[in-house]
Amino acid sequence: LVDGERFVADYLVHETLDKKVGNGGTIGQIWGALLYFCFPFTLILFPSIRAIWRRRRTSEMLRFILCWSWAPALFFTLYPYRVKTYLYLLVPAVTILVDWGYVVDGRSKFYRFVVFLSGLLMFAVLALLAIILQRAEIVPLWVNLGFIGAGLVALVCGLRDWMRGLALCGLAAVFFFHAASVSIGETDIRGLR
């Protein structure tokens, strides 16, 4: 309303059309980011897709995933700019896909093996992170114990094939990541204060 020409020049042309090439990332790098956003469900995603694809009765699930995903997928494939922010739009769809795949095919040996492997990897990653942060002495002890505890429970859930428990451990890991980042930020800001 104030300056339409400036809006077109600065926002529409410069921020949208000129940044179509984005940050120079390839399509593989863009979509690869979705896989680590969905940790610890990354490995479980693939047998879930296979299980749902093989069961024709779950066609409404495929329709839901396609309807949820096509617009953001098209957008940040064409405009790979700040793509890691936009990828969060697809994480809920992936989580629902994993859960439905578990309902459809959760009793197969292959699926149970992938759930176990996911729990094992989650334990290894969280334990390694706790060791690194403890050696650096930049976070409180309770954060490191939280990482180790969430990893141990994830390992037990992976062994027992408790999908919902693994999901709760994933949420706990996100909480402890947040607590660790806040703690590290407080250490940096304390000197400035």
Mean pLDDT of the 2-13 span? 70
Best CA proximity match to 173, nearest among 150, 157, 156: 150
Q: What is the DSSP string of 13-79?
A: IIIIITTTTTTS--HHHHHHHHHHHTTTSHHHHHHHHHHHHH-GGGHHHHHHHHHHHHHHHHHHHH-
Inter-residue contact 39 to 95 (CB < 8 Å):
no
pTM: 0.65
Our measurement of the distance from residue 33's CA atom to the centroid of its chain's CA atoms, rounded to an integer in Å, reads 8
pLDDT confidence bin for 52, thresholds 50/70/90: confident
Q: What is the pLDDT of residues 122-150, one digit of tens each?
A: 899 899 989 988 888 888 888 889 989 99
Average pLDDT over residues 80-98: 73
Can you give the pLDDT at residue 128? 92
Q: How far apart are CA 80 and CA 46, in angstroms?
A: 24
Q: How many CB atoms lie within 10 A of CB 45?
A: 19
